[in-house]
Amino acid sequence: MGLVKKGKDLWFFEDLYSDTTYGFKVSKVIVPETDTGFQKLMILETDRFGRVLILDGIVQLTEEDEGIYHEWIAHWPLFALQKPARHVLIIGGGDCGVAREVLRHQSVQKVTMVEIDRMVCDLTRRHMPAVCAGVYEDPRFKLIVGDGAEVIRRMKGKCDVIVIDSTDPIGPAQSLFSTDFYQSVYDALTDGGITIHQTGALILQPFEAPGSWRQIERSFDDVRVVQFANISYMGGPFSLTAGSKGKGVFKNAERNALKAYPKAGFKTSWYSPCIPAHPYPEFQKRLETDKYGEEIVMDIELPSRSLPDAKKVGRWALQTCDAIHMLPFGEAITAGSVRGEGETLVQYVETSAISYRRYGRLAALNCFTCAALPMEDAIRFSIDYFKTQRALCWYLPRGSFADIRKARNNTKIFAYGAGTDGLGKAYRPRLIDSADAFARDFPFFRSGIAPQFELVMDIYDCDYEKIASSAAVAEWAGGIFPKISGLSTVGKVDAPDFGHAKKKTAGPSVVQLFKGGSNISHYAANWLMIVVNIVSDRKFNLGKAVRRTMGYFKGRYAICWLLPRGNTGQPLKKVADNTYIFFVEGK
């Protein structure tokens, strides 16, 4: 929304979220919205908060409470160290609030700040001098105008603390949210060193801290989230995520701080070593979850006398949302009579999607969420709704950061009957090499066990710019993948962007219907991951489909499942024997 006139008054409303906002009355525009070449900058005067720095419609700091953020992101890692820091690197932080706090530590001999946008430095120094507070006059301070991702590669083993004081992972900060960047940060630290960066509001940006946690976990020896609150950052609990070079660093962080703080020779207004700042238990549980989401896949045989029409399928979708405690997003996407074999429907929900396809008397159902999935509730509801007696089910842990063997062990194949109490006997998929899955004589397609199959791909460490772009996602789903697979599209691709800060998939989703199948995919920008479900009633080249998809999104590795769909009357063990899981490494 930005600046808005309300009667005689001028107000500012933040643009970070599409479904919620906060605002304040503006007494004077100090710097009107200015294109810096990297982002749009504005500085406003307010009676309540003093002067406010805004970048791309998002509040970065206010004079009234900037000390909360700057004190925590600077002093928490510095006091947590076993030995006092000598060299501190700040990436971003052009307003110099972090540098101001770091320079209060007498042990620090050198502070290097790398800021890509020179105008942020110049305009905040001129119009918000209290934030800088003599930083530029301190001989220990050095400013480098450039890309932090490039500079840090030249600093191996030189930094005791690295503070990443960037904006959210959009615009000029995108290069700071890749796995390669985090590895460069790790390499730049001394042994026992700490890096820390802001990871958003824990409620309103629910994927940002968990996504960063997982990225840091891959490169660093330990991870810790620090929680506090700052009125200028909407959403209540706000997070910083830290990584250490060396194990056991964070185990002693509080004890080190309690010893070092009294000796520092200065007082803080907002930070205190007596405040542990651990995340609420609910947030900690989310951080430690080892998968991105959960999916239940069901094949159920429909009663021959009452094949459901479009309205009934639509009601199933909406009532399934209620059964799994989710909200629907937008209108359902349907193929209808175009396919000539019944209804196909996809309904986005607040944390991914549910889908329905019918092949003759068989209904193929998928329910995927990026939150906890009440699996048995979803199954029981569908059995009751369609008045059938049995569902053949696959449970898939989606986006698991465990290895392939644990992902296999956590995958369940089972039958669920009406009136069932519990899952009963469950099987696991067959673990095979990707070379076997991609071989011409792979027996899956010759088994005749099912009229359709489903290729499920979780692709990791993808290129941020690709998976965060609705246009790039749509190009792959509506053009590139159909050419790779030879599948004929039905209708246009649908690729809404739910945004990195939204309560959904933290990025775009996509639906492309095919003749005899569909492509339903979700793009977790903060996790650098895509999760893909391809259903088809005709064979295509698996190796080409998987590898070219990984190549397009620059994914480093993938975990894939192959499911036989449409298994009416098949013994459960035979279905399990023809369900496969395999690992694919990118080139």
Residues serving a catalytic function are: 165
Query: What residues have CB less than 8 Å from 200, skipping those under 6 apart?
Result: 168, 208, 209, 238, 239, 501
* ∠ CA 449-450-456, rounded to 5°: 115
Structure tokens at 482: 């159909």
CA distance 520 to 457: 11
CB 71 within 8 A of CB 101: yes
Pairing relationship of beta strands 40-46 and 509-514 according to DSSP bridges:
unpaired
* ∠ CA 224-292-56, rounded to 5°: 70
CA distance 499 to 348: 14
* ∠ CA 361-363-366, rounded to 5°: 170
> Coil, helix or strand for 420?
coil
Pairing relationship of beta strands 141-145 and 110-115 according to DSSP bridges:
parallel
CA distance 524 to 413: 26
CA distance 466 to 528: 10
Position 40, amino acid: K
Strand order, beta sheet including 50-55: 28-35, 40-46, 50-55, 58-62
Backbone angles phi, psi at 197, to 5 degrees: -155, 160
CB 21 within 8 A of CB 58: no
Structure tokens at 386: 């369609």
Q: How many residues does the chain have?
A: 587
Position 189, amino acid: L
CA distance 228 to 475: 41
Count of other CB atoms within 10 angstroms of residue 534: 25
Structure tokens at 38: 């990297």
In sequence order, the β-bridge partners of residue 362 are 301, 359
CA distance 262 to 268: 11
